[in-house]
């Protein structure tokens, strides 16, 4: 036991020395970093001075060749301004030269200090390595010390955990409310864990996307869009639609046609709003949609006198048919606003679902998006 005690005492001394030397090494490294930073800044400053001074190299020549007075080559008057300007630049040049020498001197001082610190660091690192080597040898020789050290650490850790557990037990025993609160927290943790389960989240997301995709397909069939009989999938990774038929997969950008793009965009917007309504109070998206001239994909402007049998008119009618279907499926809980050139013959079949707010065609005083009375009133 005597030898073991001496080894333990020696190890304690070495621990203290190691701590002190490690602190010195850290201090030296911080000082080295600071000096190197200042040295870099000093070097940049010196380079700037050299550049500035190089621009004044001709000043000495000018000073030796310009007299105290000179005559203007145009008017012949005498002036000392040139001499004064050259003298001021000559003084500036001397100041820059002095600064450049001081920077060079400080650079040598920094290099000397860096060398000294690196030498000190090498000595300290050798000392700490020697201490660690000695500690390793002593620890290997004293197996009993290692066991005691581990046992003591285990006892301290266990004692700390036991003390904390006893405190918590006393608190719970003294207060029945705390125990009930703890049960509530455990239950809430269990519920959150279920919500955060990745498999549950994946299944829930898949179910939502399937629900929206089914609604997209329903509206696309009314539009009579191409590929509407395929398996239509809302692809949130690429923010597009995917059409699956057998082994073939196509994306919306691949199927072409302005009619298809318009049909599937409107169908997707309506399907998403239809799903959002199922969230009830959790839905934070405003319940209105604005479509600006969806018929323009067919032709620039529809006039009232155009024949109802015209294919383009029939396609425009399907737009209002889809929006009427959306209104009925959502029980009028989403307001749809349409700004459109199409005449009344495009939507009069669905007049129970369509309300005309303003007609800006014709020669009436109320034929502009911005009312004339607004302009007259200076609004």
pLDDT in tens, 293-349: 898 887 644 444 444 446 777 888 999 999 999 999 999 999 999 988 877 888 888
- What pLDDT sits at residue 128? 84
Counting Cα atoms < 13 Å in the Cβ hemisphere of 137 gives 8
Under the banding of pLDDT at 50, 70 and 90, the label for residue 212 is: very high
Q: How far is CA 104 from the centre of its chain?
A: 46
Q: At what angle do helices 198-223 and 311-329 cross, to 10 degrees?
A: 140
Mode of pairing for the β-strands spanning 231-235 and 240-245: antiparallel
Across the chain, mean pLDDT equals: 77
DSSP, res 259? H
Residue % of the chain over a pLDDT of 90: 18
The least confident of 84-93, 208-217, 370-379 is 84-93
CA within 13 Å, CB half, 298:
20
75 pLDDT more than 70: no
Tokens representing 130 are 């020697």
Interior CA angle at 365 toward 359 and 367, to 5°? 30
What distance in Å separates the CA atoms of residue 24 and residue 20, rounded to the nearest whole number?
A: 6
82 half-sphere exposure, CB direction, 13 A CA radius = 14
Q: State the pTM of this model.
A: 0.47
Instruction: Using the predicted structure, report yes or no on whether residue 3 has a pLDDT greater than 90.
Output: no
CB 313 within 8 A of CB 306: yes
């Amino acid at each position: 036991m005597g030898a073991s005690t001496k080894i333990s005492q020696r190890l304690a001394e070495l621990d203290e020395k190691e701590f002190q030397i490690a602190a010195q090494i850290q201090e030296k490294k911080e000082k080295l970093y600071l000096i190197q930073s200042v040295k870099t800044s000093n070097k940049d400053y010196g380079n700037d001075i050299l550049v500035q001074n190089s621009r004044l190299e001709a000043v000495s020549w000018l000073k030796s060749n310009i007299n105290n007075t000179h005559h203007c080559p145009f008017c012949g008057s005498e002036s000392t301004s040139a001499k004064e300007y050259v003298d001021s630049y000559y003084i500036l040049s001397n100041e820059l030269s002095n600064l450049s020498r001081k920077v060079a001197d400080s650079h040598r001082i920094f290099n000397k200090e860096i060398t000294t610190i690196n030498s000190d660091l090498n000595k300290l690192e050798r000392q700490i390595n020697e201490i660690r080597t000695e500690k390793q040898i002593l620890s290997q020789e004293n197996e009993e010390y290692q066991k005691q050290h581990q046992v003591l650490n285990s006892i301290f850790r266990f004692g700390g955990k036991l003390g904390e557990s006893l405190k918590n037990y006393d608190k719970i025993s003294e207060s029945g409310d705390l125990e009930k609160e703890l049960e509530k927290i455990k239950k809430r943790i269990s519920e959150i864990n279920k919500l955060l389960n990745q498999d549950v989240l994946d299944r829930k997301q898949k179910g939502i996307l399937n629900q929206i995709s089914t609604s997209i397909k329903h509206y696309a069939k009314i539009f009579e869009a191409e590929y509407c009989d395929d398996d239509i999938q809302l692809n949130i990774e690429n923010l597009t639609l995917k059409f699956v038929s057998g082994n073939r997969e196509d994306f919306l950008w691949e199927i072409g046609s302005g009619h298809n793009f318009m049909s599937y965009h409107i169908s997707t917007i309506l399907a998403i709003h239809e799903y959002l309504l199922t969230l009830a109070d959790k839905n934070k998206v405003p319940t209105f949609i604005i479509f600006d001239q969806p018929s323009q994909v067919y032709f620039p402007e529809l006039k009232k006198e155009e024949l109802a049998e015209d294919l383009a008119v029939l396609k425009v009618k399907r737009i209002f048919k889809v929006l009427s279907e959306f209104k009925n499926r959502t029980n009028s809980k989403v307001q749809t606003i349409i700004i459109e050139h199409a005449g009344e013959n495009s939507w009069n079949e669905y007049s129970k679902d369509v309300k005309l707010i303003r007609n800006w065609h014709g020669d009436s005083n109320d034929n502009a998006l911005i009312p004339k009375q607004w302009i007259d009133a200076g609004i």
